[in-house]
A and B are shown apart, each in its own frame.
Chain A
Amino acid sequence: EDQVTQSPEALRLQEGESSSLNCSYTVSGLRGLFWYRQDPGKGPEFLFTLYSAGEEKEKERLKATLTKKESFLHITAPKPEDSATYLCAASSNTGKLIFGQGTTLQVKP
């Protein structure tokens, strides 16, 4: 069964305190691994796409990496405006796009 699991469910950081979010996936014929940011009451906003193990993508304070079983979203020196829910999703070879339950990040000044 296709499945995506994220951890931790919630993460509280002080401003400037770096950390990582985990996304474990079991998907038939992975066609892509995606990271999104979601603010309360809004639709998810696309961040990154990863296709193959060893691939990395970076944007400002965020870096996403991919292995054969997991993806990580590294947050370096976060700021309060990085507070949001971060969602991971995997696309299977049947066309399904499956999401994890998300990690809610709170960055305190």
Chain B
Amino acid sequence: DGGITQSPKYLFRKEGQNVTLSCEQNLNHDAMYWYRQDPGQGLRLIYYSQIVNDFQKGDIAEGYSVSREKKESFPLTVTSAQKNPTAFYLCASSRPAQGVGTEAFFGQGTRLTVV
């Protein structure tokens, strides 16, 4: 089955530690995105990538880093510089066609808690 897989589903991090969230897709999509969702809030864009080996900062990139070495994979690292990392993290992918945007499909999310 084609889709987007995020792992792990739940993650606990001690203060001062870096942690990496995994996102893999087998939809052959070019574009991938990372969002953060806080309780009762919408989705805020952290980073996005339209093509392999290229990515752009979103609205809340501070304290996060990404890489896009393969088309299928877009891991997100939450660094110790992120002051309030406890949140629900969502990864998405889409296949943008020239001139139009196409719908993005989401993984089931990773819930990160700082302990």
Q: Could you list which residues of chain A lie within 8 angstroms of chain B, going by C-beta atoms?
A: 6, 31-32, 34, 41-46, 49, 51, 87, 89, 91, 94-102, 104
Contacts and interface: CB of A to CB of B under 8 A. Distances in A.
A102 B42 CA distance: 5
Contacts, number: 70
Contacts of A95: 31, 48, 50, 56, 96
Contacts of A31: 96, 99-101
Contacts of A97: 33, 45, 48, 92, 94, 101, 104
Q: Chain B CB within 10 Å — which of A43, A91, A94, A98 has the most?
A: A43
Interface stretch (B14-22, B68-76, B106-114): B106-114
Contact of A46 (B45, B101, B104): B104
A42 B108 contact: yes
A96 B48 contact: yes
B90 interface: yes
Nearest to B108: A43
B103 interface: yes
11 contacts: A32-B100, A34-B101, A41-B109, A43-B107, A44-B43, A46-B103, A46-B105, A96-B58, A97-B101, A98-B45, A98-B59
Contacts of B64: none
A31 B109 CA distance: 26
Contacts of A45: 106
B65 interface: no
Contact of B103 (A42, A49, A101): A49
Contact of A96 (B40, B42, B45, B88): B45
Contacts of B53: none
